Structure 1
Amino acid sequence: MLLDTPLCDFGWQAVDFTLKDPGGRSFEMKEYLGEKGLLIAFICNHCPYVQAIAERLAQDTTELMAEGINVLAVMSNDYRHVPADSPKNMLRFAKKYGFAFPYLIDEDQAVGKAYGAVCTPDFFGFNKQGGLQYRGRLDNANMKNTTKRDKELVNAMRQIAATGKGPVQQTASMGCSIKWN
């Protein structure tokens, strides 16, 4: 089912969490809330919307991380009902697209629910105090035409890093519904 993300609830405070990657390493959100902010991306492997942006997401997040903006990705789908989203397949997907950020398993879906994530991809951009400042899309490119694109997420995260505030105008991300158990 295709869904759009809700409007940004400016200032909503990030909920701390500890999740593991498919290799079993633990990552604590508050350790990634750096001086220039944090991007949390709710993604999965099987969604055609995520597949369509995966290369651009890898490029854009690598750019952001080089500028000191931290990135975490969370997979909240119930992978027992969607085997394509299993931890083993998460490893393959991350390797295929060259993800440089931790790709974490939300085993009990508590993080996705705490954040109100609705679809994949669903982007949450936080300032250094953990206040939500961006809940929009990656860019304005459609599923096929990526030659001319406005890097909305990159620009928003740069603005957040510089000013602590996100852009007032944001366009909702859209994608497949999160597969709750």
Structure 2
Amino acid sequence: MAQTASNMLALGTKAPDFLLPATNFNTTFNFEECKGSKGTLVIFICNHCPFVIHVIDEIVMIANDYRVQGLGIVAISSNDIVKYPQDNPEKMADFALENKMDFPYLFDETQNTAKSYSAACTPDFYLFDNQNKLIYRGQLDDSRPSNGIPVSGSDLRNAIDSVIYNRHLNEVQKPSIGCGIKWK
């Protein structure tokens, strides 16, 4: 399984906007509509990546734990569906339903959104504060498929706590590791 690291977009970057169709809702969403009162988590995922499958339960738990505290959450798939039909919008909707994703799962057909975020892998996490400034881009935790470390979400949860409770967040952050985005 090939491993690709995050590009580590510069901290302080303003959240790029998007307008993308949701595969699990019958509408489109932009950044403002996904935004939470305390901050916003943008996650690049896909249906078939073993790294995503390894952590999807924790991603959904984080969404459920923090949405009620004012965190907006959105997932985006930017993979080329011609070469990877398992990531097509219909299968994205099935994936969202199977994994009880109550947050928008958007399809980035042009891949322009992934490029604007400098996304490189799945999963790739971007946490913005309530001013839409990037304060965290990095890993969920140290767990990877088959490395034996339990999934805890500790790195991302710590970052989210810093946004919600106005705590200082260390700028030294470990990149996410996952499958590379499948570019056209």
TM-score (norm 1): 0.92
Q: Deviations over 1:57-78 (max 9, x none)?
A: 1111211112211100000001
Stretch deviating more after TM superposition (169-178 or 7-16): 7-16
Runs of 4 or more consecutive aligned structure 1 residues displaced over 6 Å after TM superposition: none
Stretch deviating more after TM superposition (155-164 or 128-137): 155-164
Which residue, out of 135, 160, 179, partners 1:133? Answer: 135
1:4 — aligned with what?
Answer: 5
The Cα RMSD (Å) is 1.8
Contact 2:9 2:117 in 1 (8 A): no
Which residue, out of 102, 105, 110, partners 2:104? Answer: 102
* 3-state SS, counterpart of residue 163 of structure 1: coil
Give 5+ residue unaligned stretches, structure 2. Answer: none
Give the C-alpha shift of residue 94 in structure 1: 1.1
Q: Which residue identity does 1:113 align to in structure 2?
A: K
Matched, 1:58 2:68: no
Tell me the percent identity. 35
Q: Deviations over 1:74-111 (max 9, x none)?
A: 00001121011011111111111111210000011110
Q: Distance in 2 between matches of 1:104 and 1:75?
A: 6
Give the C-alpha shift of residue 169 in structure 1: 2.7
TM-score (norm 2): 0.90
Q: Distance in 1 between matches of 2:177 and 2:97?
A: 24
Which residue, out of 166, 170, 173, partners 2:176? Answer: 173
Which residue, out of 164, 168, 179, partners 1:161? Answer: 164
Q: Distance in 1 between matches of 2:167 and 2:129?
A: 5
Stretch deviating more after TM superposition (31-40 or 162-171): 162-171
Contact 2:141 2:151 in 1 (8 A): no
* Count of residue pairs the alignment pairs up: 181
Contact 1:73 1:103 in 2 (8 A): yes
Q: Distance in 2 between matches of 1:8 and 1:118?
A: 10
Give 5+ residue unaligned stretches, structure 1. Answer: none
Q: Distance in 2 between matches of 1:76 and 1:148?
A: 24
Q: Distance in 2 between matches of 1:33 and 1:164?
A: 20
Q: Deviations over 1:94-129 (max 9, x none)?
A: 111111210000011110011100000000000111
Q: Which residue identity does 1:110 align to in structure 2?
A: N
Q: Distance in 1 between matches of 2:50 and 2:151?
A: 20
Contact 1:44 1:75 in 2 (8 A): yes
* 3-state SS, counterpart of residue 63 of structure 1: helix
Q: Distance in 1 between matches of 2:73 and 2:182?
A: 23
Q: Distance in 2 between matches of 1:8 and 1:78?
A: 22
